[in-house]
Amino acid sequence: MRLRAEREAVVAHARRMAADGLAVGTSGNLSTRAGDLVAITPTGVPYDVLTAEDVVVVDLDGTPVEGRLRPSSEVPMHTAVYRGTDAGAVVHTHPVHATALSTLLDELPPIHYMVVLLGGPVRVAPYAPYGTEELARLGVEGLAGRSAVLLANHGATTYGDDLAQAYERGVLLEWLCRLYAQARALGEPRLLDAEQLERARVAFGGYGQGGGSAGGGSAGGGSANAGGAWGSR
């Protein structure tokens, strides 16, 4: 079986999505790249019964290479991210707070300094039908200089060097969206300015066991190592 380790990693992370509030039912999808091949979740298969054999291998054009099932309907989005960035893995989710804010905002503002771990305030890409090349293009445009994007009236996409990093960025994005939504329910939140964000970015460069502490730590159950799963790109 091709890409056995990558397919097993896809299964392991897919099984966490519902418990982590990132997906409902069979919604959402994730993938990881190995050279010119991509291991991606199949369409319509419940994650709790997903096996490595169910995960589909496609090439960077989205053509199936190996697998007994049809790949995710969002293959165009995943392959577009791989072609347009240095992503090693892509996670597409439908979390409640991120999706709700995607219907209200043009950009998730800097409510917390940890937004720098996604590259800065997260853009909302214009709406396009799911599974289309148009959605893929708009999503990649929204990712410019970022490792996360909200998709209007749809959900969110994050990427990283590997599945662990891409997935934890998805967790972080939903935490930031939940934080902003709760703050707005109480009033008008204070936002960080460009200088404050830059100071946080510099501080995170030395955060973790390899350097000085930037403060904070994990959010929403994610990794506390800024140079790891939530490391800035």
Residues tagged active-site: 74
Query: Do 105 and 179 form a contact (C-beta atoms < 8 A)?
Result: no
d(CA 171, CA 34): 23
Question: pLDDT per residue over 48-66, tens digit each?
Answer: 999 999 999 999 999 999 9
Q: Can you give the length of the chain in residues?
A: 233
d(CA 13, CA 72): 15
pTM, two decimals, is 0.89
Domain boundaries, the chain: 4-186
- pLDDT above 50: residue 222: no
Question: pLDDT per residue over 13-54, tens digit each?
Answer: 999 999 999 999 899 999 999 999 999 999 999 999 999 999
Question: pLDDT per residue over 123-153, tens digit each?
Answer: 999 999 999 999 999 999 999 999 999 999 9
Question: pLDDT per residue over 156-165, tens digit each?
Answer: 999 999 999 9
The CATH architecture of the domain made up of 4-186 is 3-Layer(aba) Sandwich (3.40)
Three-class SS of residue 22?
coil
